[in-house]
Structure 1
Amino acid sequence: MHVRHVPSTSTPAPADAVTGSAWITSLAVPEGASRTRVDRVQFAPGARTRWHRHPLGQVLVVTEGTGYVQRHGGPAQLIRPGDTVRVDAGEWHWHGATDTTSMTHLAIEELPADGTPTELGDPVGDAEAAAVPAATRTLVLEQPLPAPRVIDHFEARRITIAPHHSPGLHVHNGPVFGSIETGSAVYAIEGEPESVLTPGDVFYEPESTRIARFDAQEDGVTFLAWFPAGPGETPQLIPLDN
């Protein structure tokens, strides 16, 4: 085992592979029997790859910003932090930032033993780029409440939990809706399976339900939480003894 620190500099993406400005930071290169390459690719707003395909496919993991990916014959799809895209071997596709936001992703690729390179196609045409929707609306959570409730105000809070910290076993005096912004946390309602929440994930905590875990991982966690409340009610987290 050895640790290779992330380079402090990046290199411009080849002009024949990308339209617009993009930068590549090499994170891992093939060594020994491994043929895996990992790059961090940062796209400026409006930058995108040409149509291209990889002999053995590719995995993209979005880490920052917002972008699009499209396979030949399919619609362009919006991608956000936490999203993972698996591109099949030989599948023509392109990916890049939206016109108004930058986008960074990890590109993970297995290189063929015979050295077959990535094949480049045409630039993304004006008609194809125009097909990218200017606005998208995605339903991320639809949650019926167990009983009618009088609501006369909402509180929205941005909450940060430091790495390896947790509020412990607790309940809330009203329903809570949340969306992870950065970092990750192990989440579990008492008596139910655990899951790991990462950026873009949403969650719902019913009123008075015992929350067994909301444990920040090594990168900490920041999330937005919405608290619907009734007249004169102040949303509260109530710690419980284990």
Structure 2
Amino acid sequence: MKNLVVIMMISLAFAGAVNAANLSPVKNTAGYVTLKDSIIRKRIFMAEFPARNVSSVDVREITFKPKQKTGRHLHPIPVMGYIVSGTVLFEAEGQSARVLHAGDAFYEPANTPIAHFDNQSDTEPLKFVAYYLLNGEKELIKMLPEKSGK
């Protein structure tokens, strides 16, 4: 039950503020949910993760300077996020690298090394919102040594 509540809270955070008077769905087609008064909820991302109790969600707005890189890292907890502005090279180890743009969402599974989370612009900052799904943990990120031979 806790997980369902947390997932609902995260979904609402991604979709924006909810007007309590407009919660009854009118139409549901192709990933869109239209509510009274033409409020539209479009799914932009869906991530499944192993069963986990979540006691709190730490939401952070993070800004990178042009060409700034995170460095190889992992999170001991699942992290979901949303690109507000800019372009990022995102690569979880073992997966293909992909470029994310404003409006795209991402998921970093717990304890999965992230090879790249790098601002791709030479001139523009990158801004994103990260949702850390916590169950009493205090550490949000652990930096890892760079792999040799790259």
Query: What is the TM-score of this pair, normalised by structure 2?
Result: 0.68
Q: Deviations over 1:95-147 (max 9, x none)?
A: xxxxxxxxxxxxxxxxxxxxxxxxxxxxxxxxxxxxxx72101111222212x
> Corresponding residue for 2:141?
237
Q: Deviations over 1:58-84 (max 9, x none)?
A: xxxxxxxxxxxxxxxxxxxxxxxxxxx
Question: What is the deviation of 1:211?
Answer: 0.3
Answer 1 or 2: higher relative contact order, Cα 8 Å, separation at least 6. Answer: 2
Preserved CA contact (<8 Å) 2:78 2:109? yes
> Corresponding residue for 1:225?
130
Which amino acid in structure 2 is aligned with residue 195 of structure 1? R
Which amino acid in structure 2 is aligned with residue 151 of structure 1? V
Question: Structure 1 stretches of 5 or more lacking a match?
Answer: 1-132
Identify, as 1 or 2, the structure richer in helix: 2
The reply on whether 1:144 has 2:39 as its aligned counterpart is no
Which amino acid in structure 2 is aligned with residue 212 of structure 1? A
Preserved CA contact (<8 Å) 1:229 1:235? no
Q: Deviations over 1:18-37 (max 9, x none)?
A: xxxxxxxxxxxxxxxxxxxx
Preserved CA contact (<8 Å) 1:227 1:235? no
Q: After superposition, where does 1:52-71 map in structure 2 within 5 Å?
A: none
The reply on whether 1:163 has 2:66 as its aligned counterpart is yes
Q: After superposition, where does 1:167-206 map in structure 2 within 5 Å?
A: 167-206=70-109
Which amino acid in structure 2 is aligned with residue 144 of structure 1? E
Preserved CA contact (<8 Å) 2:80 2:106? yes
Identify, as 1 or 2, the structure richer in strand: 1
Distance 1:144 1:191 in 2: 18
Preserved CA contact (<8 Å) 1:140 1:202? yes
Which amino acid in structure 1 is aligned with residue 59 of structure 2? A
Distance 1:142 1:211 in 2: 19
Distance 1:177 1:162 in 2: 21
| Percent pairwise identity | 32
Q: After superposition, where does 1:1-242 map in structure 2 within 5 Å?
A: 134-146=38-50, 148-218=51-121, 219-231=124-136, 233-242=137-146
Preserved CA contact (<8 Å) 2:132 2:140? no
Distance 2:45 2:139 in 1: 21
Preserved CA contact (<8 Å) 2:59 2:129? yes
Larger Rg, first or second structure (1 or 2): 1
Which amino acid in structure 2 is aligned with residue 143 of structure 1? A
Q: CA RMSD in A?
A: 1.2
Question: What is the deviation of 1:167?
Answer: 1.1
Superposed structure 1 runs of 4+ greater than 3 Å apart: none
